[in-house]
Structure 1
Amino acid sequence: MDTDVVMDTSAEAPAPLDDVSLKRMILQFERKVLKNQEYRIKYADDALKFMETEVELFEIIQQMQVISTQPELYHVLLELNVLTTLLGLLVHENTDIACAVVSLLQEVCEIDDDDDYDKISPLLDFLIESQLVHLLVSNMQRLDETVKEESEGVFNSLSIIENLLDYKPEISKDCQALLTWLLQRLKAKLPFDGNKLYASEILCILLQNNDDNRKQLGSVGGIDTLLQQIAYFKRHDISTGDEREYLENIYDCLCSALLCCSVNRKLFFDGEGIELMNLILKEKKKGNISSMRMGAVKVINHLLSEDKGRDSVLEDCCNKFIEIFGLSSIFPIFLKPKSITIGQKKKEANVVIDDVEEHCCSIILALLKHSKPENRKRVINKFLENNMEKTERIVELHFKYSERLMKCDALIRKERAQKMANDESIDEDQIFARRLTEGGLFTLQIIDQIILIISKEPISKVENHGPSTSTSPLQPPKDTIKGTIMKSLHTHARIHSSVNHYKMIKSVMKEMAEDAEKEEKERILQLVEDF
């Protein structure tokens, strides 16, 4: 047996990294960078003569990944200014070198343990100040993702960007070049892969709570790009979980872009986005259509969400939706939200049903408030159809969410009493937020507002029925919308005598009016008085 071979294979593992060994490694790295630069200049026309220096540089960069296992040594990277050298290599002519640097940076930017946060944050601050995001975008623009190593370079770049955005969300305000690249990546005619999914996730992050990014998205054709992605999945079935997640991300991006943004709303309107969403809602086939329809309902809700002040585009969108027969798409879902949860587990389906009910009610309320009179009447007429089944449905939803709110309020009262007994502080804002979400108050306010609006209408299910001659709000004609509502409330009261839902509807709306601006407050209080 060869003794030398035995000795080589039984050699001990390298000693753990410390300040001294790290500084030695960095010195070797700096020397190899300089040597590579010298040879590239000296032998610019003969790649074979500088190729060996690039292999050596590539190998030392890979060896430096061991640094990521010891965040307590990151201060050495800053003290020796080696990060500046690494960032300079992101523009290296050899993309293998640039991708090796990206891989190293991805490792050191990862915060796996909260205890390491203080050790890593100075390094992250330096990278942000050094415009790392812009450098990564410039590098990604030249990478060929059909090459495995370069595709991995893109994935690692997106991972770094996600970590930086998570560490300091405010940097999303200065990511215009990144946003443009992400949209181009979504449009790229490449097979669906993890990079496309990752690009959609980063785009979602950039659009959250950032008006400038939303406007930029519209200015560079982003609304059309998102609609094209959705249209693709209308024509092709979703085949993997990643594709389903990608579609959900695209819908979320579109929702963020449309929310209270008149400019993007107009682009969506002109790009026939309303027509596309309506076609998706009308789809009846099984398969991926459940995710498609859920996303479409959510998008329409965000499209029709109110902003402060009068918005003619919002009115145009409401009228367009009605005129392309959107009512025949949304009301069946309003009646049977389970139709949109096909293929989902029961627990997940229950959450989705709550979301669908909120979206549908929000859409109906927007149509009632912002459509022109003749279209508004078409919405009202829906509550008269089929023995007023939709009127009974809206009252049924009131019962569901009022019961949820009462249970939440009872629990809050109990917790409040315990805190007062223990002399603990009570966060009223947190309690109100809890009532809105966990208690279902937000959805209940929408439902009760619809009830008040449709109750004002004197029309009945009998054609040409005149206005009611009754002066008592508790005794309207039974064939009117209000008559049906009051009948349902009285029937419920006989079974659950402890709750007066007529008074509860008024109470919920008065509470809502307290936080509304003057004009909206007056409108709501007038509805309450008329009820």
Structure 2
Amino acid sequence: MTSIDDLFRKPSAGGKRKLQDPTAAFSHTPSNKSSKLTDGSSPRSSSNGTRESSVSNGSSSKAALVQDEVLDEEDVEAGPTLPSEDLEEEDGDDEEGRFFGGGVTKQEREVIDYIEKNEDGDVEEKIDSPWLRRTAINFERKINKNAELRAKYESDPMKFVGSEADLDGEIKGLSLLSEHGELYEEFVKLGCAGSLVGLLAHENTDIAIAVSELLAELTDEDSATTEDQWKTLVQAMIKSDVVDLLASNLGRLDENNESDRSGVYHVLNVIENILSDTENLEAVGSKDTLMQWLLARIKKTDTNARGKVGQNRQYAAEILAILLQSNKVNRDRFAQKEGVDALLQLLSIYRKRDPEKDSDEEEFAENLFDCLACCVEEKFASEKFVEGEGVELCLIMLREARLAKARALRVLDHALSGGNAVAVSMRLVDAAGLKTIFGMLMKSEKIERILIEHLIGILASLLRYLPGGSAERIRTLAKFVENDYEKILKLVELRREYKIRLVKTDTQIQKERDEMDAADAEEHADEWLSRQLDAGLFSLQALELILSWLVAEDNGARQTIAVLMGEDGLKVLERSLRDQLDGMDSSASAEAKATEEMLEALLLCVEQ
């Protein structure tokens, strides 16, 4: 039998190991646990300086005494066994300071690390079709659960508030879709787009606001979508009556509340995104509730904002400008709601006062002028413009305002070429507008090019639309010939400047055309035309049209123009009129056909 001394002295052949119970050698039942201490005894020493251990040999036991002797440290093996080579070592103790080795294999550690990362959310979930289907199912479940609890516990909100928090979280989680446009079509097919839009009618406005914010993000121009993917979602939204539901939210949100004020902004953001496709202009503008709210909102002042124009008021004006930009139906609808009169009232404060630079108010005023300039192109809206003394207001701004001057001139230019051009032309002359317009023309070297181009457009419209033989037309022609034809001299100078600028552009375009084949040249035709217009092609044609009118109307003007433009001056005007005729579309509108007839009549006069 192995002695106690041998157990302590001899090292194990297999290296270090754990300290075992010394009684294990005498017991039939091996134990890995150390001996339990009793009666305050210590396994290290007794009072008489000897080591002792209790052993059992059946019915009786006695203390085995081990004599003290100095043991060489290298001969004694005690303490924990070293971990095997396939175990990962860890620095320092564990939580309770008991072990220096982790006792975990490398493979186990990799599994643990993966689980920990997954629990911490470090493992990125793959956003694909399976993810979308799972998300769609959870989304619909959250909607149904909330609806069920709301119906069941209508009078006890605490019973369904938790389900609304879950629903809100699910809505916010869908924002990941904005980075995966390839999933938009499936999102629509699964019915999620319709369900999402339907939540805009949720009783809890916080849910509706969350949906508005999400829809704004999904339809934003910065979302990772192609044009087709974007249109797929937006068309599904429109079919689900998104515009009506958004408009109803505008009516129930209270902007005195910060959260609701933010909600109004998100709703307007969605509408703006939808309108980025001009095909949706009429679909959105046809909603009376929305148009009425926008009109009311631009009238409502924001007391605590600079210039009494806050972000949402400015945004409402911007949405209106987009709706009226290129849609006759929307313009007429707006005018029928007394929109033109509202614009004139709002703009009247800028007769002598400029809005603060780089402020919401400045952008607000810009948008109002844009709205007015668009509306006055239509006959009904322009009639309202004349009735509301819009011509007089614009003339006052030309004389007294600074920032509003250019905008007012643009409004007059659009009104004088629109569906009510005759009445506007007559009113401008009757309101003593000729002095203002010609005064600006003579100071054209001191004003911006854009103002000059609007002045040219106004003069061309006056000569075209003022009735022949009327007092207003005679007064206008007299302005051209007074002071020894100084106005005509100015027009000829302006024509020369525009011609020089355009010749440079045409030379460059011709150089590019010579380096291309016919197919490539055709592809660049629109780009070249745009560059010619930027160089002043339209204004040059308008100037030549004005000079042609004067040649036709007054012999003295004819002789002056012939002298100022040289021997071939009238030939130049003739070629210009022919070029404009050749550019006319024979299948165009009634207005275009009237223009064609005017050009033919002028050509006959110039050829004489």
Normalization by structure 2: what TM-score? 0.71
Match of 2:409 among 279, 297, 305: 297
Deviation readout 1:432-468 (Å, 9 max, x if unpaired): 834761452321221122222224455xxxxxxxxx7
User: Does structure 2 conserve the Cα–Cα contact (< 8 Å) formed by 1:281 and 1:329?
Assistant: yes
User: Does structure 2 conserve the Cα–Cα contact (< 8 Å) formed by 1:33 and 1:57?
Assistant: yes
Shift of 1:275: 1.1
Letter in 1 for 2:502: L
Q: Could you tell me how far apart the structure 2 residues matched to 1:127 and 1:94 are?
A: 20
Runs (4 or more) in structure 1 with deviation over 6 Å come to none
SS in 2 for 1:426: helix
User: Does structure 2 conserve the Cα–Cα contact (< 8 Å) formed by 1:408 and 1:435?
Assistant: yes
Deviation readout 1:46-75 (Å, 9 max, x if unpaired): 334433333333233223323333334445
Shift of 1:485: 3.1
SS in 2 for 1:112: coil
SS in 2 for 1:305: coil
User: Does structure 2 conserve the Cα–Cα contact (< 8 Å) formed by 1:29 and 1:60?
Assistant: yes
* Equivalence for 2:491: 394
* Equivalence for 1:477: none
Shift of 1:357: 1.9
Letter in 2 for 1:134: D
* Equivalence for 2:332: 215
* Equivalence for 2:280: 171
Letter in 1 for 2:166: E
Q: Could you tell me how far apart the structure 2 residues matched to 1:375 and 1:121 are?
A: 52
Q: Could you tell me how far apart the structure 2 residues matched to 1:115 and 1:221 are?
A: 39
* Equivalence for 2:383: 266
- 1:68 matched to 2:168: no
User: Does structure 2 conserve the Cα–Cα contact (< 8 Å) formed by 1:62 and 1:100?
Assistant: yes
Shift of 1:113: 5.8
Q: Could you tell me how far apart the structure 2 residues matched to 1:115 and 1:59 are?
A: 24
Higher fraction of helix: 1
Shift of 1:154: 1.9
Q: Could you tell me how far apart the structure 2 residues matched to 1:98 and 1:144 are?
A: 13
User: Does structure 1 conserve the Cα–Cα contact (< 8 Å) formed by 2:309 and 2:364?
Assistant: no
In structure 2, stretches of 5+ residues that fail to align are 1-94, 96-115, 303-307, 585-591
Match of 1:84 among 194, 205, 224: 194
* Equivalence for 2:88: none
Q: Could you tell me how far apart the structure 1 residues matched to 2:217 and 2:524 are?
A: 43
Shift of 1:207: 1.9
* Equivalence for 1:286: none
User: Does structure 2 conserve the Cα–Cα contact (< 8 Å) formed by 1:61 and 1:104?
Assistant: yes
Deviation readout 1:371-404 (Å, 9 max, x if unpaired): 2422222222222344433221111111112222
SS in 2 for 1:384: helix
* Equivalence for 1:527: 605
Shift of 1:25: 4.1
Match of 1:55 among 160, 165, 171: 165
- 1:362 matched to 2:438: no
- 1:158 matched to 2:268: yes
In structure 1, stretches of 5+ residues that fail to align are 284-288, 308-312, 341-352, 459-467, 469-479, 494-499
Match of 2:444 among 337, 349, 353: 337
Letter in 2 for 1:437: L
Q: Could you tell me how far apart the structure 2 residues matched to 1:169 and 1:390 are?
A: 42
Letter in 2 for 1:391: I
Match of 1:128 among 227, 235, 238: 238
Shift of 1:269: 0.8
* Equivalence for 1:463: none
Q: 1:320 to 1:427 in 2, by over 3 A?
A: same
Q: Could you tell me how far apart the structure 2 residues matched to 1:57 and 1:113 are?
A: 23
Letter in 2 for 1:291: L
Q: 1:369 to 1:124 in 2, by over 3 A?
A: closer
Q: Could you tell me how far apart the structure 1 residues matched to 2:187 and 2:297 are?
A: 33
Q: Could you tell me how far apart the structure 1 residues matched to 2:548 and 2:190 are?
A: 70
Q: Could you tell me how far apart the structure 1 residues matched to 2:357 and 2:205 are?
A: 31
User: Does structure 1 conserve the Cα–Cα contact (< 8 Å) formed by 2:506 and 2:532?
Assistant: no
SS in 2 for 1:16: coil
Residues 247-258 of structure 1 aligned to structure 2 (within 5 Å) = 247-258=365-376
- 1:233 matched to 2:350: yes
Match of 2:512 among 402, 412, 415: 415
Match of 2:561 among 477, 482, 485: 485
- 1:504 matched to 2:504: no
* Equivalence for 1:320: 427
Shift of 1:86: 1.8
- 1:200 matched to 2:268: no
Shift of 1:42: 2.6
* Equivalence for 1:461: none
Match of 1:451 among 547, 552, 559: 547
Q: Could you tell me how far apart the structure 2 residues matched to 1:11 and 1:432 are?
A: 58
Shift of 1:185: 2.0
Letter in 2 for 1:210: N
Q: Could you tell me how far apart the structure 1 residues matched to 2:527 and 2:267 are?
A: 41
Shift of 1:232: 3.0
User: Does structure 2 conserve the Cα–Cα contact (< 8 Å) formed by 1:409 and 1:439?
Assistant: no
Q: Could you tell me how far apart the structure 1 residues matched to 2:283 and 2:474 are?
A: 47
Shift of 1:364: 1.4
Letter in 2 for 1:369: R
- 1:140 matched to 2:250: yes
Q: 1:387 to 1:113 in 2, by over 3 A?
A: same
* Equivalence for 2:43: none
Q: Provide the alpha-carbon RMSD of the alignment.
A: 3.0
Letter in 2 for 1:204: A
User: Does structure 1 conserve the Cα–Cα contact (< 8 Å) formed by 2:549 and 2:602?
Assistant: no
Q: Could you tell me how far apart the structure 2 residues matched to 1:529 and 1:370 are?
A: 22
Shift of 1:326: 0.6
Deviation readout 1:114-136 (Å, 9 max, x if unpaired): 66445444323322222222221
Moved more, 324-333 or 518-527: 518-527
User: Does structure 2 conserve the Cα–Cα contact (< 8 Å) formed by 1:258 and 1:264?
Assistant: yes
User: Does structure 1 conserve the Cα–Cα contact (< 8 Å) formed by 2:180 and 2:225?
Assistant: no
Shift of 1:30: 3.0
Q: Which has the larger Rg?
A: 2
Q: Could you tell me how far apart the structure 1 residues matched to 2:353 and 2:170 are?
A: 46
* Equivalence for 2:296: 184
User: Does structure 2 conserve the Cα–Cα contact (< 8 Å) formed by 1:300 and 1:363?
Assistant: yes
User: Does structure 2 conserve the Cα–Cα contact (< 8 Å) formed by 1:510 and 1:528?
Assistant: no
- 1:11 matched to 2:120: yes
Letter in 2 for 1:57: L
